[in-house]
């Protein structure tokens, strides 16, 4: 549409004035070297699948710059299958439409480490946006070096997000990631000092944008110009920006010396109750939750069910006292179909040992104090 060419097409375009048929192999050698010297600039772009990062890429493709997009995944909802935020939209439809490559990269433990101990603090909830940006930029820089690319691109817009997209924070990110001027933000470029690719003539600064603030008017205009008609609506971010998820995560960090990927996966499931400092109860809300929780049974965990009726499946983690066990059983009773009876039989199994407790369903007052 705007002359984005495949490698093959670009190579052909560069070499086409002089072909093997018109020159001898010896004569053609300097031409090949000249073609190599004229290699298209190559940018590595952070690509969430959202509108801003897409526009940043399109502004470069328009200048015939090769772009490799990186989409990062984490254990906190930034993944290609998530539809909850622009931090995790499916990147492929847009990449297919506009013809650029996408590489997926899971940040795994590196991201968990910054969530546990963020150097630059948290946002309103457990989000660690500044450290997150730095980690993603550092990982993208690693790719840039591995792929021998020329510079990095992000879809950041100055002043758009309260934590990570303010000018002083952008300057801090530049300083700490130390890319020597190779980090370009095409949407706000005209408001920022010229970067190395602009100074070296790889990118025409005049064709970049000077957008700031939360209004998305200019982005909408650009989307229209580029024929970008389908993109996710801007959302608040990953799971770390969610108040309920953050409460669960805070609780996990407060009660576990270390956290592993299973702990993190479980945070997303069912109803959860901090029965005591020593134990936590997870309860299925529906059939799907019950099935998912069943996958996590092991001989260390207590399994609770009100078997005489339709019941949520409960997993009790930790070292409960007898009182904790009774309260966990009464919580299961509260959510089973016999919740209106004065007492319910709840079966508890751990490591093959089974017992039945007869308990009264817990009342809302007591539950509200331990609900996560």
The sheet carrying 42-46 orders its strands as 101-106, 66-73, 42-46, 151-153, 183-184
Please state the closest distance from residue 88 (CB atom) to ligand SF4, in A. 8
Q: Does 303 bind ligand SF4 (CB under 6 A)?
A: no
The b-or-e profile of 274-310 (16+ CB within 10 A means b, else e) is: bbbeebbbbbbeeeebbebbeeeeeeebbbbbbeeee
* CB proximity list for 294: less than 8 A, separation 6 or greater: 313
Coil vs helix vs strand at 143: helix
Among 65, 78, 267, 336, binds ligand SF4 (CB under 6 A): 78
Work out how close the CB of 136 gets to ligand SF4 at its nearest, in angstroms, rounded to a whole number.
7
Q: Given candidates 45, 58, 132, 316, which one binds ligand SF4 under the rule CB under 6 A?
A: 132
Q: What is the DSSP string of 226-291?
A: HT----PPP---SGGG-HHHHHHHHHHHHH-SS--HHHHHHHTSSEEEEEETTEEEEE-SSHHHHH
Q: Which two tokens stand for residue 318?
A: 């930790």
CA distance 71 to 45: 9
Which CB atom, from 76 or from 151, has the smaller least distance to ligand SF4? 76
CB of 236 to ligand SF4, least distance (A): 7
Reduced to 3 states (helix: H, G, I; strand: E, B; else coil), residue 69 is: strand
Beta carbon of residue 17, minimum distance to ligand SF4 (angstroms, whole number): 47
**Residues in CB range of 30: below 8 A, 6 or more apart:** none
Name the minimum Å distance from CB 168 to ligand SF4: 17
241 binds ligand SF4 (CB under 6 A): yes
- Range in contact with ligand SF4 (rule: CB under 6 A) among 92-100, 128-136, 224-232, 320-328: 128-136
CB of 82 closer than 8 Å to CB of 122 = no
Which residues in 151-170 contact ligand SF4 (CB under 6 A)? 164
The smaller minimum CB distance to ligand SF4, of residues 14 and 115, is found at: 115
Q: Residue 240, interface with ligand SF4 (CB under 6 A)?
A: yes
Quick count: other Cβ atoms within 10 Å of Cβ 318?
A: 18
238 binding ligand SF4? (CB under 6 A): yes
Smallest gap from residue 60 Cβ to ligand SF4 (A): 22
In terms of CB distance, is 137 or 269 closer to ligand SF4?
A: 137
- 237 touches ligand SF4 by CB under 6 A: yes
- Identify the three-state secondary structure at position 184: strand
Distance of CA 223 to the CA centre of its chain: 23
Give the nearest distance from C-beta 24 to ligand SF4 in angstroms. Answer: 56
Residues 82-101 interacting with ligand SF4 (rule: CB under 6 A): 87
For position 328 contacting ligand SF4 by CB under 6 A, the verdict is no
Give 313-349 as a DSSP string. Answer: -EEEEE---HHHHHHHHHHHHHHSTTTTSS-EEEEEE
Under the binding rule (CB under 6 A), the answer on residue 127 touching ligand SF4 is yes
- The nearest distance, CB 334 to ligand SF4, in angstroms, is 34
128 near ligand SF4, rule: CB under 6 A: yes
What is the binding site for ligand SF4 (CB under 6 A)? 78, 87, 127-129, 132, 164, 237-238, 240-241
């Amino acid at each position: 549409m705007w002359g984005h060419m495949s490698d093959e097409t670009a190579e052909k375009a560069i070499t086409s004035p002089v072909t093997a048929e018109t020159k001898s192999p010896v004569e053609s050698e300097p031409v090949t070297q000249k073609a190599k010297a004229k290699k298209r600039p190559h940018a590595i772009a952070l690509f969430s699948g959202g509108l801003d990062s897409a526009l940043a890429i399109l502004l470069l493709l328009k200048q015939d710059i090769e772009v490799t997009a990186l989409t990062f995944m984490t254990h906190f909802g930034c993944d290609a299958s998530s539809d909850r935020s622009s931090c995790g939209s499916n990147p492929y439809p847009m990449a297919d439409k506009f013809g650029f490559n996408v590489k997926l990269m899971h940040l795994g433990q590196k991201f968990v480490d910054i969530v546990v101990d963020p150097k630059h603090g948290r946002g309103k909830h457990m989000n660690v946006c500044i450290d997150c940006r730095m980690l993603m930029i550092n990982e993208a820089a690693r790719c840039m070096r591995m792929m021998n690319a020329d510079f990095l691109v992000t879809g950041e817009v100055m002043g758009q997000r309260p934590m990570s997209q303010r000018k002083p924070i952008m300057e801090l990110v530049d300083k700490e990631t130390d890319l020597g001027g190779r980090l370009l933000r095409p949407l706000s470029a005209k408001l920022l000092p010229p970067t190395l690719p602009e100074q070296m003539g790889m990118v025409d600064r005049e064709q970049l944008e000077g957008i700031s603030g939360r209004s998305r008017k200019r982005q909408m205009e650009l989307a229209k110009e580029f024929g970008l008609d389908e993109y996710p609506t801007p959302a608040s971010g990953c799971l770390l920006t969610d108040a309920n998820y953050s409460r669960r995560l805070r609780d996990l960090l407060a009660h576990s010396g270390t956290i592993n990927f299973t702990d993190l996966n479980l945070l997303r499931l069912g109803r959860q109750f901090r029965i005591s400092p020593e134990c936590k109860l997870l309860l299925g809300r529906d059939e799907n939750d019950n099935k998912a929780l069943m996958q996590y049974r092991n001989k260390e965990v207590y399994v609770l069910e009100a078997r005489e009726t339709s019941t949520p499946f409960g997993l009790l983690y930790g070292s409960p006292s007898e009182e904790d066990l009774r309260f966990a059983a009464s919580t299961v009773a509260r959510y089973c179909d016999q919740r209106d009876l004065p007492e319910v039989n709840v079966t508890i199994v751990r490591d093959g040992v089974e017992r039945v407790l007869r308990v009264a369903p817990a009342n809302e007052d007591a539950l509200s104090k331990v609900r996560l």
